[in-house]
Amino acid sequence: MAGQVKNRKMTLKPVSMLTVMALSAITIAGPARAQIYKWNEEGGSVSFSDDARNIPVKSRKDAQIIATPDQNKKSEEAEPQDKGGSGLAPQAVAQPAGMRSDKVINVPLKSHGFSYLVDTEVNRGTRASFLVDTGASFVIISPELAKKIGVSNMDNLPKMPVTTAGGVSWIYLIEIESLKVGEAEAVHVEAGVSSSIGEGFDGLLGMSFLNEFIHQIDGPGSKMLLKSARGAGQSFGGHDKGWWRTKYTHYSESIRRFTAYRESLVTGAPLDDPEIKKVKGFTEKDVKKIIDYYTGLLNSLDRRASAAGVPSDWRVYP
């Protein structure tokens, strides 16, 4: 029976099963123009830099450009400008392949018990079979697939507990550079690695991929329909304001909540967060790794936003 999910909200809830993602190295080109940035540090001191990448994430929304070289009108019109206020000029960062807002992609499905399998391409080269799981918050992959895409030393990766049919399990958090299903592609995908996903497939196709699209499972037709979730209004980088703000809010809120949890572990102060309180057995070092993980995702998103010229009021920081 066909069912449609349009909600793009991403949560911190433990996933019901597990799904996929690949660790990727992210390269950053230098700024296209020399500018001087000014911002206030947490301790109250003032810092300056000619490279926006040196601005801490928490200070970016209040950073000021205090000097920039003179440019005539013609050069300003010829060179794409960063409308997001982060100081990074548009440059070659990973972006998904263009997809028209009215295009519907039909993806063949294969029955697997009461679920469906779908063929995927991970990191633009590795073929894998995923189980479609709309109950999974993340894409989660097997350790075997993780090795194929270059994930190593998993014990050094951040990890989180999740609830599965077999009880509580731990997943290692990674970032997949690219995940493609048919012609539909998502980049910098939030994902995890676990040996508890089940047998007969390489990963779970969870909501960290599916939330990128309006999706519908057509069981009788043995296909999944994927359509751009872009609204009718203004869009940047192929996404509307709702998509950008949802992404920013999710990563920023994750950083904020786990930072508060880390502080409670260090100081012993009470933590007024029922969901975070459920996370047991974490050390201060474990939580710091999670904070660093979501900070990396936020920085990746910020670079994409700057490359696409996303306005500053579409962005949300911790």
Q: Is residue 288 part of a domain?
A: no
State the CATH number of the domain containing residue 195: 2.40.70.10
Q: Is residue 183 part of a domain?
A: yes
pLDDT reported for residue 248: 97
Please give the helix or strand (H or E) that residue 227 lies within, else none. Answer: strand 223-228
Domain extent at residue 179: 3-26+95-228
Lowest-confidence region among 28-42, 134-148, 235-249: 28-42
Average pLDDT value over all residues in the chain:
76
Question: 53 falls in which pLDDT band (50, 70, 90)?
Answer: low
Q: Is residue 166 part of a domain?
A: yes
Q: Is residue 209 part of a domain?
A: yes
Lowest-confidence region among 39-43, 188-192, 283-287: 39-43
**How far does CA 85 lie from the centroid of its chain?**
21
Determine how β-strand 203-205 pairs with β-strand 126-132: parallel
How many separate domains does the chain show?
A: 1
Provide long-range contacts, Cβ within 8 A and 24+ apart, for 239-248: 241/314, 242/8, 243/8, 244/305, 244/310, 244/314, 244/315, 245/314, 245/315, 245/316, 246/8, 246/9, 246/10, 247/10, 247/301, 248/298, 248/301, 248/314, 248/315, 248/316, 248/317
Q: Is residue 153 part of a domain?
A: yes
Question: 222 falls in which pLDDT band (50, 70, 90)?
Answer: very high
Query: How many residues does the structure list for the chain?
Result: 318
What single string gives the DSSP state of each residue in 167-200? EEEEEEEEEEEEEEETTEEEEEEEEEE-S-S-SS
pLDDT reported for residue 124: 94
Q: Is residue 63 part of a domain?
A: no
This prediction's pTM:
0.68
Q: Is residue 187 part of a domain?
A: yes
Q: Is residue 259 part of a domain?
A: no
pLDDT in tens, 60-115: 767 766 544 443 333 333 333 333 333 333 334 455 554 555 689 999 999 999 89
- Of 174, 143, 154, 196, nearest to 15 by C-alpha is 196
